[in-house]
Structure 1
């Protein structure tokens, strides 16, 4: 129905070369988020051309560019990645467009079992990160966090990534990890987050926020009652 073909109609109306834009959006939906990966995946040999198409998609707010939250000059950063701004578009380009022929034949069960279900947890996990970040931003607005954060977002380098990093001008940091999985989060996840924070950040005060779809282990819950720097959200 409407949702099945809406992105196609919308983009054909808005864009002059829909096939090229579709190939770029599909590449991003499948996790090719860096410029060189998009160039490779789409087969468009000229990176400047791809950049031009990405600029149009950003103007339409279909695509957003993200850089690690600690970058001083975000617009000049070479660490930028491109993401589909809307979860519905992410789903459509990841699962509907590539399987259009099966869906048009009414083969919904095959698409669900073979194409969607195996990777749905990873897809949902990324959206869960967005929800966790929004939750932390809301708490920050209400002054409920241990300090007033000035910036908040994802962080990564070429070795590691942290789902959420929030900080102020006084070198206080919150490091957050978001786990969308069917078992509870335990001490291992906390220790891994602490290790990443120690390796890459010079912080005077550190807090660790863990978000879980399936709750927390007894050991982690007990430890969080003893330590004021552990924040648990489920």
Structure 2
């Protein structure tokens, strides 16, 4: 299949006769009693409103308890997942929880299809692709790339080929910084990982930035830095990584 991404998206998802155009809508209308409210919540999350108060603001549902109830239903259906920073001791009690759409296709549909339904019903696929999808597709794909890198590190951990056996692997953030991947064990060894989905090689600057973010963590015995890149690495970074055992490069 040598079709471009653009052709595939237009034919399968944006075209109103396409197989995937109405799929999420049908699934949810069958499962849920008040689809319009759920749709507004899912759309808010798809546009990156990840915290409860942001979802409340975006949807205009004034009662956070109500929104919480709807989110619980969506989590039971595995449409939405709640994540907390990987280092949190009691995840279910953490106030740092964020909400994400579990499935990349749902993320795409609620971000790009549902909001532009009127154009798509009229068959104006080119406008939606050119004006609404293409400009932000790279950052959308970057988020999926993060998921893939996270999975890759988990697989390597399962095969025992990382510098140590990690007990927990996931995303981490506080109110100032975020790190795409943090893995750690009980002995205070840490891997800090950053995933770069861009068309130029990752270089020393990205490494230095990751090292700076890792300074947020105190009493770490051993630090490793993992960089994942869509477009490879600069010569300088490769040279440095051949001299330093604590740099791991994945492309």
The TM-score by the shorter chain falls in which range?
A: over 0.9
Task: State the superposition RMSD in angstroms.
Answer: 0.6
Gaps of 5+ in 1: none
Q: Which moved more, 1:196-205 or 1:69-78?
A: 196-205
Cα distance in 2 for partners of 1:41, 1:66 equals 20
Gaps of 5+ in 2: 1-17
1:129-180 residue CA offsets vs partner (Å, 9 max, x unmatched): 0000000000000001000000000000000000000000000000000000
Superposed displacement of residue 200, structure 1: 2.8
Question: Which residue of 98, 108, 111 corresponds with 1:91?
Answer: 108
Cα distance in 2 for partners of 1:202, 1:103 equals 54
Superposed displacement of residue 202, structure 1: 2.5
Cα distance in 2 for partners of 1:205, 1:39 equals 41
**Count of residues paired in the alignment:** 234
Cα distance in 1 for partners of 2:51, 2:64 equals 11
Question: Which residue of 123, 126, 129 corresponds with 1:106?
Answer: 123
Q: TM-score of the superposition, structure 1-length normalised? A: 0.99
Q: Which moved more, 1:1-10 or 1:75-84?
A: 1-10
Cα distance in 1 for partners of 2:36, 2:161 equals 47
* Deviation beyond 3 Å, 4+ runs, structure 1: none
Cα distance in 1 for partners of 2:36, 2:121 equals 19
Q: TM-score of the superposition, structure 2-length normalised? A: 0.92
Q: Which secondary structure does the structure 1 equivalent of 2:99 belong to?
A: strand
Q: Is 1:231–2:248 an aligned residue pair?
A: yes
Question: Which residue of 180, 187, 196 corresponds with 1:170?
Answer: 187
Q: Is 1:158–2:175 an aligned residue pair?
A: yes
Superposed displacement of residue 199, structure 1: 2.5
Q: Match for residue 18 of structure 1?
A: 35
Cα distance in 2 for partners of 1:202, 1:214 equals 34
Q: Match for residue 120 of structure 1?
A: 137
